[in-house]
């Protein structure tokens, strides 16, 4: 989804060019981060640029230099998964990066459809009921563009700075990338803003590899690239992350510092929609649990009282 170096006629031609540009940027960035020492190659030769040379990656993958050069230029359509796996091993790609490379390969096939504005799958009422029932845990459903499409009261209280942000009011839907990069207040809310921002961009890029023809996703990336130098820099790193879970620290304006564990679960919905159910919890017996309970009490007093009985 980076802008191609030159315009081309026809939507299909443009988007195949975009895909080649994505492949080139990804493979080049993965090659540049590897030192000869990491892959067992000698280091005596002088190097004008960091990372491995193309011929070295080709040798490690068991292919010709000419073939790998063509692959790195984006000509990936028709390449077998076995060969891509050999390239992935040569570049020491992790599991998420392997998946992303395969997604880029599938998107490059000529039979792929033209860009489309994907109809957002509606969240079934039963899913909203389930989320609402989690009275002591912030929970929400997010789509592939990292919009929050369903949430419970405690989630809205926890992420009140984002729900109250102009980036949400302008669109009618809370969106993590827009809040991170277009609202200066996000740097005060997220204790480790840079780590969270990089993870957000990496998740968004993984979704771009999975469905590069989603026009709304392309527009989101274009908007953020135009308005945020930080986003442009992070997007250009070509880092990918399919799952985002772990520990998050937030400086909440009402209850102070919260250290929360969060996990995401796949939530299959119609129309190939990629949705995750994300749930936050605090470690029992910690100040964060006390503060989360305090926040729960202010967000939903009746549910909070029932949970304590």
> Distance between CA 294 and CA 249 in Å, rounded?
17
- Report the pLDDT value the prediction gives residue 308, as an integer from 0 to 100: 42
Domain 125-308 CATH assignment equals 3.30.450.180: yes
- Report the pLDDT value the prediction gives residue 213, as an integer from 0 to 100: 80
- Report the pLDDT value the prediction gives residue 110, as an integer from 0 to 100: 65
Provide the residue ranges of all domains of the chain, joining segments of one domain with +. 11-107, 125-308
From residue 65, alpha-carbon distances to 23, 149, 287 in Å are: 17, 47, 57
pLDDT digits (tens, 9 = 90+) for 119-150: 566 788 999 999 999 999 999 999 999 999 99
Q: Report, as ranges of residue numbers, the positions in the chain whose pLDDT lies below 70.
A: 1-18, 44-45, 110-121, 270-274, 300-309
- Report the pLDDT value the prediction gives residue 214, as an integer from 0 to 100: 84
- Report the pLDDT value the prediction gives residue 18, as an integer from 0 to 100: 60
- Report the pLDDT value the prediction gives residue 134, as an integer from 0 to 100: 93
> Distance between CA 135 and CA 297 in Å, rounded?
10
- Report the pLDDT value the prediction gives residue 15, as an integer from 0 to 100: 47
- Report the pLDDT value the prediction gives residue 3, as an integer from 0 to 100: 46
Domain 11-107 CATH assignment equals 1.10.260.40: yes
Buried/exposed 180-217: b ≥16 CB within 10 Å, e otherwise: bbbbeebeebbeeeeebbbbbbbbbbbbbbbbbbbebb
Q: Evaluate the CA torsion angle 155, 179, 167, 254 in order and state its sign.
A: positive
Residue tagged 């030769």 (tokens): 45
**pTM for the structure as a whole:** 0.85
Per the document, the length of the chain is 309
């Amino acid at each position: 989804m980076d802008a191609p170096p030159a315009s081309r006629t026809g939507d299909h031609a443009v988007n195949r060019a975009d895909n080649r540009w994505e492949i080139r940027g990804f493979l080049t960035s993965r090659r540049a981060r590897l030192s000869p020492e990491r892959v067992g190659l000698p280091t005596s030769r002088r190097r004008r640029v960091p990372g491995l040379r193309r011929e070295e990656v080709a040798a490690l993958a068991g292919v010709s230099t000419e073939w790998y050069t063509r692959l790195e230029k984006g000509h990936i359509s028709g390449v077998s998964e076995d060969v891509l796996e050999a390239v992935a091993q040569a570049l020491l790609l992790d599991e998420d990066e392997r998946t992303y490379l395969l997604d880029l390969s599938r998107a490059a096939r000529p039979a792929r459809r033209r860009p489309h504005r994907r109809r957002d799958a509606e969240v079934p009422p039963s899913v909203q009921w389930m989320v609402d029932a989690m009275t002591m845990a912030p929970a929400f459903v997010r789509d592939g563009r990292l919009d929050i499409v369903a949430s419970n009261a405690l989630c809205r209280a926890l992420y009140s700075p984002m729900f109250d942000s102009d980036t949400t009011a302008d669109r009618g839907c809370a969106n993590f990338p827009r809040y991170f990069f277009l609202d200066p207040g996000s740097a005060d809310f997220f204790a480790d803003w840079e780590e969270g921002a990089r993870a957000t961009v990496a998740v968004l890029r993984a979704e771009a590899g999975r469905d590069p023809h989603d026009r709304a996703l392309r527009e989101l990336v274009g908007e953020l690239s135009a308005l945020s130098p930080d986003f442009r820099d992070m997007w250009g790193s070509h880092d990918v992350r399919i799952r985002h879970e772990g520990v998050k620290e937030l400086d909440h304006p009402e209850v102070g510092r919260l250290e929360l564990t969060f996990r995401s679960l796949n939530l299959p919905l119609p129309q190939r929609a990629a949705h995750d159910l994300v749930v936050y919890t605090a470690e029992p017996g910690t100040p964060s649990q006390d503060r989360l309970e305090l926040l729960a009490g202010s967000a939903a007093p009746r549910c909070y009282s029932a949970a304590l009985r």
